[in-house]
Amino acid sequence: MIISLLSMLGGGLLRLLPELFGFLNKRSDNAHELAMLDRQFQLEQTRAASRQALAEFQGGVDETLALLDAQKSALQGQMQLSGVPWADALNVLVRPVATYYVLLMYGLAKLAMFMVARQADIGGWEAILKIYDAEDRAILSGILAFWFVGRALRERGK
């Protein structure tokens, strides 16, 4: 009788053992699936942030291109001749005359600074180095870039 009870108990336990292993395995599978879903969520967040950054960048590029197209059409419109000789001459001369005027006044202002420095007994080279500062280098770089890049673009277009 005891043997039959033990065999019944052993058989029942052995029958429950695969179920117990299945339960533990299922719990491990669920934990793995949850971890994978978490990783997938993080990946989707990264992709969404990347798409948003790309859209913002593309919007900036499109805006810059639109501004350049508007500037190009405005410049082409200003270069149209009206047929009135004096008006066309004035239209053509306004920018160069304004540029030469600004450069002349800038040069005169720098010359005046140099003369004041010389009157204050500052040596010639030292006066030049004090007068010609980082902002002047930036202005000169901008002017040179404007003219030489413009020339390169004109020659490339020929």
Instruction: Note whether 114 and 144 are same-domain residues.
Output: yes
Domain count for the chain, please give it.
2
- Are 75 and 95 in contact by the 8 Å Cβ rule? The answer is no
Instruction: Note whether 3 and 64 are same-domain residues.
Output: yes
Q: What burial letters (b/e) apply to 46-83, b meaning 16+ CB within 10 Å? A: eeeeeeeeeeeeeeeeeeeeeeeeeeeeeeeeeeeeee
Model confidence at 65, pLDDT cuts 50, 70, 90, reads confident
Instruction: Average the pLDDT over each of 20-24, 35-39, 129-133 and give the range with the smallest value.
Output: 20-24
Instruction: Note whether 40 and 103 are same-domain residues.
Output: no
Instruction: Note whether 91 and 119 are same-domain residues.
Output: yes
Instruction: Note whether 92 and 113 are same-domain residues.
Output: yes
Last residue of a domain, one of 80, 112, 132: 80
Instruction: Note whether 65 and 102 are same-domain residues.
Output: no
Q: Who's near 88: CB < 8 A, 6+ residues apart?
A: 81, 82
Per-residue model confidence as pLDDT tens digits over 82-114: 788 888 888 888 888 998 998 899 999 999 999
Beta strands in the chain (DSSP E): none
pLDDT of residue 5 exceeding 70? no
Confidence at residue 1, expressed as pLDDT on a 0 to 100 scale = 66
The residue segments making up the domain with residue 48 are: 1-80
